[in-house]
């Protein structure tokens, strides 16, 4: 049991990057199991900013082996750009980065289909990142996807791409596409990707199993958050991969019994990008107190302004339970420093009906949040380094979150720097 899983417990953007960076020192293997370049965070390498969308942030720790897992969807252009950035920043990749042959490719036609599907949905658009994520996963399930390993099997690649394209072009035409994709051009594109990425493609499952046999510590780094999970999230306003702890295991061939600890990352408040229900979304009056730039609440991938709300402990409790979360890492507490009063949603109410768990159908019409109000601490927390030294009111808020959800708090982040972290002794 040497595997630790780290997942987002909300709609992504919980600040997982910083937590992974803090933890990565203790791991020899860091794996990104699912998702694609819909995720992203910016990290500092010395003076230089590097935007990572695909490569696990563990790559910055020279002793780690990093893996792009079988459950991922990978746009080769984006990956190559990211590798270039890392190399320019002096981060060595050779012999440390491995890509699963079972991960699926995002091809140019997936980007077009993502855009056309959103357009066709009109007012019901999901607000996707437009990176071709859904269409690539859909092809995987339709069994017309192209896998990274196929890049190294030219005959099969030609056969599968021909089949995929014959179906895809009809789908695109039906959606009103004005472009025709040519098989030979796509094959050239794949050949180029094979040339540049081929040496990183290897059977990562067996490498990970060997690591487990030796008891080497392994970190699974989740992307997005559980409320965006295709099955458990706020469907249909979700992403197209499994973002749960169990989903991460399944995406890299690691059995649940190999897992030692599951850490859930949660912001001290809540955000979401894209469309979909958000019962604790702040009122206009409350939002007037939020400076999106100062709070760094613009998406790393699309630059979209994030929607902001109060922490939904009802959703968090369901996520803790359905993911067997042991500990919570609470991020961005400092951004609540100046508020007179803090709200925590502890139930949903419609008339005299109350819900204390996440409903399957997220039709939130008529439902309203029931809040527990906490007095604000009105004190700067950014320089605090021990839990005991936090203002009493902040401790009461944190304690209530842990108690309501049934998980202990592992760490609290009070600023973007590595040092601005409070490790909590359970």
13 is catalytic: yes
Q: Which of 113, 224, 280, 323 binds ligand IMP (CB under 6 A)?
A: 224
Closest CA to 411 of 379, 419, 343: 419
Instruction: Tell me whether residue 196 is exposed, middle or buried, using C-beta atoms within 10 angstroms of its C-beta: 0 to 12, 13 to 18, 19 or more.
Output: middle
159 is a catalytic site residue = no
Catalytic residue among 13, 75, 312, 326: 13
Cα–Cα distance, 397 to 344 (Å, whole number): 8
Tell me the C-alpha distance between 47 and 324, whole Å: 38
Token pair in block for residue 142: 């339709």
Cβ nearer to ligand IMP, comparing 2 with 331: 331
Q: Closer to ligand IMP at the Cβ: 53 or 147?
A: 53
Of 69, 363, 355, 42, the closest CA to residue 222 belongs to: 69
Q: Does 239 bind ligand IMP (CB under 6 A)?
A: yes
Q: CA-CA distance, 168 to 166, in Å (whole number)?
A: 6
Q: Is 332 buried (19+), middle (13-18) or exposed (0-12) by CB count in 10 A?
A: buried
Q: Which stretch binds ligand IMP (CB under 6 A): 26-34, 236-244, 341-349, 411-419?
A: 236-244
Region of 70-78, 95-103, 127-135, 333-341 interacting with ligand IMP (CB under 6 A): 127-135
The one catalytic residue among 21, 25, 29, 41: 41
Q: From the list 2, 3, 38, 234, which residue makes contact with ligand IMP (rule: CB under 6 A)?
A: 38
Residue that the structure tokens 């992504």 belong to: 12
Site membership for ligand IMP, residue 12 (CB under 6 A): yes
Task: State which residue, 201 or 223, has the beta carbon closest to ligand IMP.
Answer: 223
Smallest distance, ligand IMP to C-beta of residue 138, A: 10
CA atoms 193, 34, 311, 421: torsion sign: negative
Minimum distance of ligand IMP from residue 343's CB (angstroms): 22
For ligand IMP, the nearest residue by Cβ is 274
Structure token pair of residue 327: 């500990």
**Residue 224: both structure tokens together:** 């997005």
- Which residues contact ligand IMP by CB under 6 A? 11-13, 38-39, 126-129, 131, 133-134, 223-224, 228, 237, 239-240, 273-274
């Amino acid at each position: 049991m040497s595997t630790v899983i780290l997942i987002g417990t909300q709609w992504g953007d919980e600040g997982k990057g910083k937590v992974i960076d803090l933890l990565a020192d203790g791991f020899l293997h860091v794996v990104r199991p699912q998702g694609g370049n819909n995720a992203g965070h910016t990290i500092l390498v010395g003076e230089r900013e590097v935007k990572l969308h695909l490569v696990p942030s563990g790559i910055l720790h020279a002793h780690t082996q990093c893996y792009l897992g079988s459950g991922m969807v990978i746009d080769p252009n984006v990956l190559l750009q990211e590798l270039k950035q890392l190399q320019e920043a002096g981060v060595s990749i050779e012999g440390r980065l491995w890509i699963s042959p079972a991960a699926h490719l995002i091809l140019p036609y997936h980007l077009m289909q993502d855009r056309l599907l959103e357009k066709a949905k009109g007012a019901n658009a999901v607000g996707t990142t437009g990176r071709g994520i859904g269409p690539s996963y859909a092809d995987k399930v339709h069994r017309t996807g192209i896998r990274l390993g196929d890049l190294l099997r030219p005959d099969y690649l030609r056969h599968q791409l021909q089949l995929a394209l014959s179906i895809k072009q009809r789908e695109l035409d039906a959606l009103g596409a004005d472009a025709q994709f040519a098989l030979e051009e796509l094959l050239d594109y794949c050949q180029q990707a094979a040339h540049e990425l081929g040496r990183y493609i290897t059977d990562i499952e067996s490498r990970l199993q060997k690591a487990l046999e030796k008891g080497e510590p392994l970190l699974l780094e989740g992307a997005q958050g559980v409320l965006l999970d295709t099955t458990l999230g706020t469907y249909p306003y979700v992403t197209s991969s499994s973002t749960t702890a169990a989903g991460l295991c399944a995406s890299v061939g690691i059995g649940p019994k190999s897992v030692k600890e599951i850490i859930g990352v949660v912001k001290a408040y809540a955000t979401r990008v894209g469309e979909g229900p958000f019962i604790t979304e702040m009122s206009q009056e409350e939002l007037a107190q939020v400076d999106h730039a100062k709070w760094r609440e613009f998406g790393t991938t699309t630059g979209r302004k994030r929607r902001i709300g109060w922490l939904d402990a009802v959703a968090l409790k369901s996520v803790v339970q359905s993911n067997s979360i042991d500990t919570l890492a609470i991020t961005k507490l400092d951004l609540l420093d100046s508020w007179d009063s803090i709200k925590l949603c502890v139930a949903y109410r419609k008339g005299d009906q109350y819900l204390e768990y996440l409903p399957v159908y997220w039709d939130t019409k008529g439902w309203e949040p029931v809040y527990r109000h906490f007095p604000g601490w009105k004190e700067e927390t950014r320089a605090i380094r021990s839990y005991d030294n936090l203002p009493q009111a902040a401790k009461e808020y944190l304690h209530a979150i842990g108690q309501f959800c049934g998980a202990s708090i592992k760490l609290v982040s009070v600023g973007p720097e590595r040092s601005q972290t409070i490790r909590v002794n359970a």
